[in-house]
Structure 1
Amino acid sequence: MVITGDDVDTVLSLKQRLHTEFQMKDLGPLRYFLGLEVAYSRRGYLVSQQKYLSDIFRRADITDLRTASTPIELHHRLSSSDGEPLPDPTRYRALVGALVYLTITRPDIAYVVRVLIQFVSAPRSTHYAALLRVLRYLRGTISRSLLFSATSSLELRAYCDVDWAGDASDRRSTTGFCIFFGDSLISWKSKKQSTVAFSTTEAEYGAMSSTAKEVLWL
């Protein structure tokens, strides 16, 4: 359990109350929780998943130590019919599932992970090759972290973009957005739109609408 708040006395009171009801140990300031690593500095909080990512590499059992500069090739499209079916899709499914949790601190792979998820029911060789590229990219960027600045402003800013008719199978567009609170990235998503847009304008309006809804929810 993580207990946090800006009222130190209330936090202490809550911990004392819990201690009287349950057997518990106070581990002090948050350092590691469910694969999340938290570090403190004067600049703010650094959140990463380096150990969790190292565990993914061990599970993948990949001897290839090459790295990639991007998680997916530019304009690369994956199809459900390309390549040969994997004889055993278990590893593909396990690794993609692990990468889903990694997107908690790695927004840079949110798009490609969403693409790979689409093929977990019947993965093929081309999908596994794309997955290996993501792992090579992560190997070269394993030390990246999210910084939640201690000195940023209280301004809320949002950015969005859309890949119009980017999916060749159903012609639906993919919305991507990120939301900053001051200098800190606090929310992001890559998601396929629920309907087919008949123009770039329609797709862009859909992207802005979903982004605005997320901002209002925050």
Structure 2
Amino acid sequence: MELNVHLRATDGELLPDPTRYRHIVGSLVYLVVTRPDISHAVHILSQFVSAPTQLHYTHLLRVLRYLHGTMSHRLFFPRSSSLQLRAYCDATWASYSSDCRSLSAFCVFLGVSLVAWKTKKQTAVSRSSAEAELRAMALVTAEVTWLRWLLEDFGVSVSMPTSLFSDSTGAISMALDPMKHELSKHVGVDAFYTRSQVQDGIVAPQYVTSEIQLADLFTKAQTGARHRFYLSKLSVLDPP
């Protein structure tokens, strides 16, 4: 998608027949299962299926042109990969001008293989960027907890805490330090859930710089160079 573009429901003229738009977006929702590089764009465009406009359709065609030029891209799972989980989470604060909701995103790796990713609009309004990041951290913590249970069912040992990388020192501080209650008590369940999982040794929040925050691909549009960088790190590659 174009950089710094914030689509709204009132942008452009309504399509006389939205059937085609809905059909294409519905197909792309299924495609996201194997193409994480379009997750953010599909998340944005799917919000307008009830009343799409010509401008929304123009951006949808942009996604289709990108897919046409990258038809050979696919996820790569090397057989030499380890069986240790690591996760990245990110959020964009108040990214929706209509209701000031924030956007959560995460990606989870099993060794070097990408196995889970998600872009989701937060259900509550966050009062700060750290709060938005903490909600994103709670979202990925639930995913990691489920993946750890799944690995144990397969007989894979997951005794060590899963590294959880975030570029928000404020969110990490609230997740680690119970004394931050005054700063996070209004956040409610998300703060207490994440903190309990940290104390139980399920996840271990760690700081990562924004330049190598891999979940950033799922929160906003990127430049061509940054987009290709993230694809290489996510192992979305052309086959040899």
Interval containing the TM-score (normalised by the shorter chain): 0.5 to 0.7
Structure 2: distance between partners of 1:93 and 1:81: 17
After TM superposition, list the pairs within 5 Å mapping 1:77-156 onto structure 2: 77-156=6-85
Looking at both structures, which has the greater relative contact order when contacts are Cα pairs under 8 Å and sequence separation is at least 6?
2
Q: Structure 1 residue 75: deviation in Å?
A: 1.4
SS at match of 2:52: coil
Query: How far does residue 170 in structure 1 lie from its aligned partner after superposition?
Result: 1.0
Specify which of 123, 126, 139 is matched with residue 197 of structure 1: 126
CA RMSD of aligned residues (A): 0.7
TM-score, normalization by structure 1: 0.66
TM-score (norm 2): 0.60
- Unpaired runs of 5+ residues, structure 2, are 148-240
User: Deviation at 1:205?
Assistant: 0.5
Secondary structure of 2:77's partner?
strand
2: CA distance between counterparts of 1:187 and 1:88?
Answer: 35
C-alpha displacement at 1:74, in angstroms? 1.2
For residues 81 and 89 of structure 2, the distance between their equivalents in structure 1, rounded to whole angstroms, comes to 21
Question: Does 2:102 correspond to 1:176?
Answer: no
Paired residues, number: 147
- CA shift, 1:149, in A, is 1.5
CA–CA separation in structure 2 for the residues paired with 1:183 and 1:103: 19
Mind listing any 5+ residue stretches in structure 1 that lack a counterpart? 1-71
Deviation beyond 4 Å, 4+ runs, structure 1:
none
Residue 132 of structure 2 aligns with an amino acid whose one-letter code is A
Q: Which has the higher helix share?
A: 2
| Match among 152, 158, 163 for residue 87 of structure 2 | 158
Secondary structure of the structure 2 residue equivalent to 1:158: strand
| Identical pairs, percent | 58
